[in-house]
Structure 1
Amino acid sequence: MDPPTFLPKKHIAYFQRCLTLLPHPYQSEESVRLSLAFFCLGGLDVLGALDATLTDDQRQGHIDWVYAQQVTPAITTVPGTHGFRGGPFDGPLDDRVNGVNYVTANLATTYSALLSLVILGDDLARVDRKAIVRSMTYLQQPNGGIVPHPYSAECDIRFLYCACVICHLLDDWSGFDSDRAVEFIRRCQNYDGGIATSPGEESHGGMMLCATASLKLMGRLADGLPDRVAVLRWCIDRQNQGFHGRINKTDDTCYSFWVGAALKVLGHYDLIDDNRQREFLLTTQRHIGGFGKAPTEYPDVLHSYMGLVAFSMMGESGLAEIIPELNISKESYQKFLVKRCV
């Protein structure tokens, strides 16, 4: 039997299918449809297939659909609720209950919306930048962490990272206190060198990227994590064949992105054993396209996107280079910068 090989054409077909129609099990993920769309658009972008798979009308249709999820002050005046919701799952944006509109944006889906628009070639001209930045002042907590929306009690490093990407893309940090954010990240570092979701919790591979990428975007990578050696040791220890996200867990496709991208941000991707990682990822690649979480799992758009980006970071021929701290291709981001400067 021939050894497995990377299957770019199969992956293009997979993301194209999922961008058009997701399988039945995804119905429970309707509230984050924008994030699912980002994985598909991002995957096609990294594969260099976006222009070939989307007509101009389809591209504009996706852009208009993303903007249709924007929650602005004209829709609700509740502080901290502005940005993008995850999809039309909760009905029209102007629905009111007893005269009050309870619709709210979410930082995670605002992050996905802005990245998707940039990938699609939009200049973000229709984004209500001031409203989003103003929302940050309500979402950032006294401890420096950030909640995703004003009705949430989840204050952790994931949403801090989303906020950093949003501020960077909008080129406006005025609603964000970076000093408090850096202190929050420092408190999330554990004795083992890893980074937790919030202070006192278990170290986690996804949080490692959220921390390192946030610090780089804030220009604080040099001083944000004083014990750099412990951070690198924790990341390197996560590689078995592929990578796993927590101590004593099995390897998982997505951590080739989370931990690998963190090492890219830190400038030490050379410490990865690419051969072992490639062998593992080829076992989670499916013949119908896409990647599963593990060798025995069906593909899903999150693991498919992250497996693909892992191949990009390893320098796979034909794949676009990504900017790990932004989680977007370098080409799409540079095109966006040109439009932003016009």
Structure 2
Amino acid sequence: MSNPNPQPSFAARGAVDLSALQRPQSPPPGEPGGAPAAGGYVLDLTDENFPQVVQDSATYPVVVLLWIPTDQANSELGTLLGRLADEYAGRFLLGRVDAQAHPQIAAAFRVEGVPTVVAVLQGQPLPLFAGAASEEQVRAVLDQVLAAAEQNGVTGRAPVQGAGSAGATEAGAPEAEPEPELPPLHQEAYDAIETGDYEAAVAAYEKALRQDPKDAMASAGLAQVRLLLRTRDVDLQAVRTAAADAPSDLDAQLAVADTDMLGGKVQDAFDRLLELLPAADADAKERLRVRLVEYFEMVGATDPRVVKARQKLALYLY
């Protein structure tokens, strides 16, 4: 593969030297005050499951956090990354490596200090950053990783992990509950997404909605796949430059709002389009309304950001 080299724009800081590991300062993951337990789109890596995760990086991006879970600064970064992994909903898998418990994995990444974050795409490690980082900085790096993944054809979705089991159930640990089967058309759409056939996924979701117009899962899935279709071949930098150069160009602003949604910047996407509504003509307002409603479908009607945005949308439209 070509080297995407995301090149984060901030310096490493706050890393703990592995040669001088300090005493625990934070509870273990899953306990009050500690980072969340594995599960969702977070996987605790071990010597046993690490090779499979590297192999899976040919299908979907993997972001690896090498850390000391009981160190306070490490725990804070682990909490942030775990929350973002769930927010990005499978666009990448977060793999966490306890550098003390699994020194061979840490050595494979040539890690000298923790926390260190590395992406793995198609089996190739891409160093991202070490030490502390703000949420804004971490989001920017994740967006670069996802853009690089798309350019290299790594567009699959990570599966949901069993809570606490992390795909490698330890002796005595309970097995994760199997995921419920999807309705046939939903499964058809999901399978099409896995292979990158977004047109087929759209067709499957549209058929599901013809059968049941109140199918909320199909509505959300259709909105997500349409977003993937619109952003499949975009140049992220070119889109942002075009939007900055032409703030009144509706197409440019819709395109950059799509990239915001794709990168998990939900509030930015909402605000960008809502700000255009007061000065928009009737046709532009309708286009903005349709796009915002699609975003609302993706995020969910009960999300506080959606509730507030819907109120503003109604105010501007009526």
Could you tell me the TM-score, scaled by structure 2's length? 0.27
Structure with the greater alpha carbon radius of gyration: 2
Q: Counting helix residues as a fraction of each chain, which structure ranks higher? A: 1
Could you tell me the TM-score, scaled by structure 1's length? 0.25
Q: Counting strand residues as a fraction of each chain, which structure ranks higher? A: 2
